Amino acid sequence: MELIRGLHNLRDKHRGCVATIGNFDGVHLGHRRVLEQVKAKAAELGLPSVAITFEPQPREFFAGDKAPPRLTRFDEKVRLLKAENIDRVLCLTFNKRLQSMSAEEFIDELLLKGLAVQHFVVGDDFRFGCDRAGDYNMLCESGARHGFSVVNTATFLMDGDRVSSTRIRAALEQNDFTLAERLLGRRYTVTGRVLHGQKLGRQLGVPTANIRMHRFPCPMRGVYAVRVAMPDGSFENAVCNVGMRPTVNGVQPVLEAHLLDFKGHLYGQLLSVEFLEFIRPEQKFDGLEQLKEQIFADIDQVRAYFAQNT
What does the pLDDT look like over 139-152, one tens digit per residue?
A: 999 999 999 999 99
- Please report which confidence band the pLDDT of residue 121 belongs to, taking 50, 70 and 90 as the band edges: very high
Render the burial of 189-217: b for 16+ CB within 10 Å, e for the rest.
Answer: bbbbebeebeebbeebebbbbbbebeebb
- Please report which confidence band the pLDDT of residue 277 belongs to, taking 50, 70 and 90 as the band edges: very high
Burial class from Cβ neighbours inside 10 Å (0-12, 13-18, 19+) for residue 18 reads buried
- The mean pLDDT value for 11-36 works out to 95
Q: Does residue 221 register a pLDDT over 80?
A: yes
The whole-number pLDDT of residue 250 equals 54
At position 233, the amino acid (one-letter code) is G
The whole-number pLDDT of residue 201 equals 58
Lowest mean pLDDT among 100-104, 153-157, 194-198: 194-198
pLDDT, one tens digit per residue, over 44-65 is 999 999 999 999 999 999 988 7
CA 151, CA 123: separation in Å to the nearest integer?
9
The whole-number pLDDT of residue 251 equals 53
CA 191, CA 108: separation in Å to the nearest integer?
37
Q: Does residue 23 register a pLDDT over 80?
A: yes
CA 13, CA 33: separation in Å to the nearest integer?
27
pTM: 0.90
Q: Does residue 293 register a pLDDT over 60?
A: yes
CA 125, CA 301: separation in Å to the nearest integer?
44
CATH code given to domain 187-308:
2.40.30.30
- Spell out the residues 6+ positions from residue 3 whose beta carbon is closer than 8 angstroms to its own: 78, 88, 89, 91
- Kindly list the domain boundaries of the chain, sorted by start residue: 2-162, 187-308
- The mean pLDDT value for 83-104 works out to 95
> Phi, psi at residue 272, to the nearest 5°?
-115, 125
- The architecture in CATH of the region 2-162 reads 3-Layer(aba) Sandwich (3.40)
